[in-house]
Structure 1
């Protein structure tokens, strides 16, 4: 665990503005990790309201290695979306650190819970972080991968 901690200390976690060059990197990472493997393109996503979201980027130097967004869904709840970690950086604790940072951000906004729509292949990851399945698995519109809603009280 000490090696993971040391590695995480070398990373820069920062909020990204949609007008920045860093935002373009988030779109490329989302495309490579979340869209291309299922035959989709990030160009198909509606990005028009992302300026309302908290976009967290994780950088090693100037290279984006992970990202996720946090969206307000109600005065008491936020939704985590688009969690993506570069394949060469996976299984090093970065995804966990991203989720924990977004939980901190939600707490600062006085949210009481977080929910997310997880691909069934990553349900165990979220369960290890204290998230519970809510409802039955489903395939979202315009998608081909089975998901399930998950939530956690803060």
Structure 2
């Protein structure tokens, strides 16, 4: 049986942070014609990262930053292709929610690609408003690359059951 390890880490954990960047690049950036290593990653130096490893290899990750008092903003959720659609993303999200609740946070917000919208709804997030279109000026003015929905999860809106 495969042993999954759920954990949190920061950018100072260079090994896992590097794996995180590689995974995010593969799952999130290359699909829209970009390379994460071209970005200024300084913006996430204080983010808190969550991950799942199997045999010491990162297979799922996302990060959070403080958007406002007791509100975390979830970004860059990536699950390795071979491990998608197996419930691991939901389990990682629940792990992070439990951690944040224990630390006094009241809600999580995120922006989601249309393809991930159902995942967040299934995991208790609610829409804050209609989808918005983000224009990628670098890839040409006419290329619309991502439809986003603003979503949020208030911890008191849903009771999370333990596995």
Q: State the TM-score, normalizing by the size of structure 2.
A: 0.83
Q: SS of 2:129's equivalent?
A: strand
Query: How many residue pairs end up in the alignment?
Result: 147
Distance in 2 of aligned mates of 1:125 and 1:17: 25
* Corresponding residue of 2:95: 101
Structure whose CA Rg is larger: 2
User: CA separation of 1:140/1:106 partners in 2, compared to 1, >3 Å: closer, same or farther?
Assistant: farther
Runs of 4+, deviation exceeding 6 Å: none
Aligned pairs for 1:5-154 within 5 A = 10-19=3-12, 20-140=14-134, 142=136, 144-154=145-155
- Please provide the CA RMSD for this pair: 1.6
Mark the runs of 5 or more structure 1 residues left unpaired by the alignment: 1-5
Shift of 1:141: 5.2
Structure 2 unaligned blocks of 5 or more: 137-143, 156-163
Task: Decide whether the 8 Å contact of 1:139 with 1:146 is kept in 2.
Answer: yes
> TM-score by structure 1 length?
0.88
